[in-house]
């Protein structure tokens, strides 16, 4: 068994060991945050990838109880911040035993984030890189200009096991993104707010400029994320799995969209006929410009549109 195969060159350094094991037909278990096939220069045959899924909330609560967390509110705090990951749960338990209050999620998140960044040292040496990772987590998704990190640091961040490449730039994988964001907000609330405002202006300018149609939906989503409304964040951008699937509208959704927009116009006090004409034009131009969030029951009813 080879543990901690995470840092630069780690996979290459074990190539000889794996070669000997294959020659002797011995199985080798490699523990890493990234699959072997994702490593540069990997040519190790056909490894079998075993993914460790997050634990259910009930098991995290049981782990907290075994760690001496008897207060129900404290156990709930462990479950919320652990994201199903035992190492995070134990870090929250340590913070609670050290005197942190379960009603201070930012303080607890900061304790856990320190633990995460320490474990990332093999991948992420240096304080500047750790701080940039916090900034990335707070803005959600960032390109090189928004992050103001420089090309070398941006490339380093892209190679981290917790970072993903998206159409709009880099993003920190959940549930780590939400945790690092909460910790940064607790440490530097003023700077956190200023950062979100700057990022919102940047994304808004991109959206109103000449963004291609295939990018407009992602930019609009980022604009909603950066607006900072707690209800929008909780419903549309949860730390874990999204509560409802959101996808591009299809021609068969036209009636649902019409009803949704009619209800929206009535709620906002807009003129019904004018709204209907406007929506009809949008539907005729390109119905895929709508994004629908659907409930999970079997009838698949649409509940929101954007």
Query: What is the span of the domain harbouring residue 43?
Result: 1-52
Residues 159 and 210 in one domain: yes
Dist CA 99 CA 93 (whole Å): 10
Of 86, 119, 152, which residue sits at a domain end? 119
Domains identified in the chain, total number: 4
Contact 72, 149 (CB under 8 A): no
Domain membership of residue 125 (yes or no) is: no
**Nearest CA among 211, 227, 220 for reference residue 290:** 220
Residues 230 and 139 in one domain: yes
Q: Is the peptide bond before 175 cis (omega within 30 degrees of 0)?
A: yes
Domain membership of residue 114 (yes or no) is: yes
pLDDT (tens, 9 = 90+) of the chain, 306 residues, equals: 878 777 667 777 776 677 776 677 778 888 888 777 777 666 666 778 888 888 888 999 999 999 999 999 999 999 989 988 898 899 999 999 988 889 999 999 998 898 888 888 877 777 778 889 999 999 999 999 998 888 888 988 888 888 999 888 999 988 899 899 999 999 999 999 899 999 988 888 887 776 677 677 788 888 888 876 667 776 677 665 444 566 778 888 888 888 888 887 887 778 878 888 888 888 887 787 787 776 654 344 444 444
Residues 225 and 153 in one domain: yes
Domain membership of residue 241 (yes or no) is: no
Domain membership of residue 26 (yes or no) is: yes
Residues 136 and 232 in one domain: yes
Residues 104 and 43 in one domain: no
Residues 63 and 95 in one domain: yes
Residues 138 and 229 in one domain: yes
């Amino acid at each position: 068994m080879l543990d901690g195969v995470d840092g630069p060159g780690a996979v290459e350094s074990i190539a000889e060991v794996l070669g000997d094991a294959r020659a002797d037909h011995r199985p080798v278990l490699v523990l890493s945050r990234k699959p072997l096939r994702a490593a540069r220069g990997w040519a190790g045959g056909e490894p079998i990838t075993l993914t460790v899924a997050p634990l259910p909330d009930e098991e995290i609560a049981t782990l907290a109880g075994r760690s001496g967390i008897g207060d129900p509110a404290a156990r709930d705090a462990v479950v919320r911040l652990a994201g199903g990951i035992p190492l995070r749960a134990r870090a929250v338990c340590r913070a609670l035993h050290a005197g942190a209050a379960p009603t201070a999620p930012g303080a607890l998140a900061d304790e856990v984030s320190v633990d995460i960044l320490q474990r990332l040292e093999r991948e992420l040496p240096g304080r500047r890189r750790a701080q940039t990772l916090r900034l990335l987590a707070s803005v959600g998704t960032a390109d090189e200009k928004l992050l103001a990190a420089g090309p070398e640091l941006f490339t380093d961040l892209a190679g981290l096991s917790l970072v993903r490449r998206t159409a709009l730039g880099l993003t920190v994988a959940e549930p780590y993104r939400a945790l690092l964001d909460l910790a940064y907000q607790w440490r530097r609330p003023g700077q956190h707010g200023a950062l979100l405002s700057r990022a919102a202006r940047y994304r808004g300018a991109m959206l109103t400029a000449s963004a291609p149609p295939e990018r407009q939906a992602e930019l609009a989503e980022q604009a909603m994320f950066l607006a900072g409304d707690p209800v929008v964040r909780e419903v549309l951008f949860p730390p874990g799995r999204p509560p409802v699937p959101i996808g591009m509208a299809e021609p068969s959704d036209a009636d649902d969209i019409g009803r949704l927009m009619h209800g929206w116009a009535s709620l906002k006090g807009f003129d019904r006929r004018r709204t209907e004409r406007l929506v009809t034009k949008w539907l005729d131009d390109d119905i895929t410009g709508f994004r629908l969030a659907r409930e999970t029951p079997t009838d698949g009813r649409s509940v929101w549109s954007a």
